[in-house]
Amino acid sequence: MPAFDNYCNGQWTDSETGERFDVHNPADPTDVIGTLPQSTAADTKRAIDAAAKAQPGWEKTPAPERGSILRRAASLLDEQADELAEILSREEGKALPEASGEVARAIDILYYYGEKANDLGGEIKSSSSQDTRLETKTEPLGTVGLITPWNYPIAIPTWKLAPALATGNTVVLKPASQAPIVAIKVAKCLDEAGLPGGVLNVITGPGSEVGQTLSTSEDIDAISFTGSTSVGQMVGETAATDGKRVQLEMGGKNPTVVMPSMDVDTAAKIVSEGAFGVTGQACTATSRAIVHEDVYEEFVDELVAHADNIGIGPALDGYDMGPHVSQDELDGTLEYIDVGQSEGATLETGGSVPQEDRHESGYYIEPTVFSNVSSGMRIAQEEIFGPVVAVLPVSSYDEAVTVANDTEFGLSASIVTEDLREAHQFVDDIEAGVVKVNEKTTGLELHVPFGGMKASSSETYREQGDAGLDFFTTSKTVYLNY
């Protein structure tokens, strides 16, 4: 089977202990895709030392030259896009079209920040004094640690490391152990594109060793984390003790409000795509459909029909929805389905492991719809991270917004309506960092800010677009009297 190594100081190396872990295909756990280093704190410290040593030279590299390396890496990724999509599907489980879209997104991000690097530097401002030049000078933070999740294993690492590198920071990246191979492939393309040794380091292994070392190291100037709220809060608290800059993007319980002015089948299609795409394993996935009582029963019927029409099977075999990434994730979803039934919600469809021959060895679950859900139920409050949607009835727009905001999370939210007033009012009323009208809650443009509110985010700095550059930089204000 293929063996992949850490990328440290421009070299491909094993861990100090030689211990390794296997990455399995969630559609067929007997299919071992590769082995990777089970890295230790000492391995991580070596990567941090390499990054800190390389940082001054990388900062002095002209920003357009840094950008050209990102663009060359994007071109190299593009040349192997089909291969990368297949690897991504095999290690994470998402359907091949979804994996292809994610790979394309990573390529676009590298091109985007490769171009943005040309505009970095600062701004000239008008001074209130004569014979004075007033300007800002943008500088990198230094060395940053990136901790990324398994559900978007190439897009999320890339949308963190690209702005970090473009602005002159050096990076130590810890990808999730369930799906680290595509992140290793990105590092390989950056290496081949001419990235100097030590500027990017990728270390695989457990969070208790790699993540903890990144969070506590005095040589790490900032931590950017995406993952669960519970882990993110621990990372944030640990990193903040020595004044690190922290960026946390965490969980969601994302609502779509359905108003009676919208065609019901269109509304159901929007909710279905948001809830069941990528097997519901997205922090922006639609988890709650909050539906006006005038169309509630019709909407439930249409949503059930959409759910029942989804083909479930191995990602590479042309099915609409692949498996969960692991047995633990499947068990968690099944547990929440039991919770929903015990709370008195009506299981309209799904809720079980499918029984066809093709499902025998993978971590599969049927798309699941609950009706007659009230806002106080756990399935309406807690992130499930699986293809489960709770449908809640409401009697008015005002009640819909109250229910939508009745959660600790505030990541993504949408409304489907033909009423222009409702659409604009929803943008003002909803407590979410991403707001959509007549669209699913999932799906993001790369050139605009992304982030949440409340427990979904540290609410410090946004990701992507110019906001992605802001997190990785600081500025000096220069008064030059000539």
Quick: pLDDT tens for 138-168. Answer: 999 999 999 999 999 999 999 999 999 999 9
Task: State residue 240's pLDDT score.
Answer: 86
Task: State residue 289's pLDDT score.
Answer: 98
Strand 200-202 and strand 170-174: the pairing is parallel
Q: Which two tokens stand for residue 44?
A: 């991580």
What top-level class would CATH report for the domain 6-250+457-481? Answer: alpha beta
Percent of the chain with pLDDT over 90: 97
pLDDT of residue 285 exceeding 80: yes
Quick: pLDDT tens for 235-264. Answer: 999 998 899 999 999 999 999 999 999 999
CATH topology of domain 254-437: Aldehyde Dehydrogenase; Chain A, domain 2 (3.40.309)
Q: What is the mean pLDDT of residues 120-141?
A: 93
The full set of domain ranges for the chain reads 6-250+457-481, 254-437
Residue 115 to residue 166: CA distance in whole angstroms: 9
Q: What is the mean pLDDT of residues 61-68?
A: 98
Q: Bridge partners of 436?
A: 414
Q: Which of 218, 206, 264, 214 is nearest to 235 (CA)?
A: 214
Residue 212 to residue 216: CA distance in whole angstroms: 6
Task: State residue 1's pLDDT score.
Answer: 76
Task: State residue 77's pLDDT score.
Answer: 98
Chain mean pLDDT for the chain: 97
Task: State residue 269's pLDDT score.
Answer: 98
Residue 257 to residue 416: CA distance in whole angstroms: 6
Q: Which of 272, 259, 263 is nearest to 305 (CA)?
A: 272
From the candidates 91, 92, 98, 249, give the one annotated as an active-site residue: 249
Q: What is the mean pLDDT of residues 426-430?
A: 98
What's this model's pTM, rounded to 2 decimal places? 0.96
Q: What is the mean pLDDT of residues 159-187?
A: 98
Residue 163 to residue 468: CA distance in whole angstroms: 6
Quick: pLDDT tens for 399-423. Answer: 999 999 999 999 999 999 999 999 9
Quick: pLDDT tens for 326-349. Answer: 999 999 999 999 999 999 999 999
Spell out the SS3 assignment of the chain: CCECCEEECCEEECCCCCCEEEEEECCEEEEEEEEEECCCHHHHHHHHHHHHHHHHHHHHCCHHHHHHHHHHHHHHHHHCHHHHHHHHHHHHCCCHHHHHHHHHHHHHHHHHHHHHHHHCCCCEECCCCCCEEEEEEEEECCEEEEECCCCCCCHHHHHHHHHHHHCCCEEEEECCCCCCHHHHHHHHHHHHCCCCCCCEEECCCCHHHHHHHHHHCCCCCEEEEECCHHHHHHHHHHHHCCCCEEEEECCCCEEEEECCCCCHHHHHHHHHHHHHHHHHCCCCCEEEEEEECCCHHHHHHHHHHHHHCCCECCHHHCCCECCCCCHHHHHHHHHHHHHHHHCCCEEEECCCCCCCHHHCCCCCCCCEEEECCCCCCHHHCCCCCCCEEEEEEECCHHHHHHHHCCCCEECEEEEECCCHHHHHHHHHHCCCCEEEECCCCCCCCCCCCECCEECCECCCCCECHHHHHHHCEEEEEEEEEC
249 is catalytic: yes
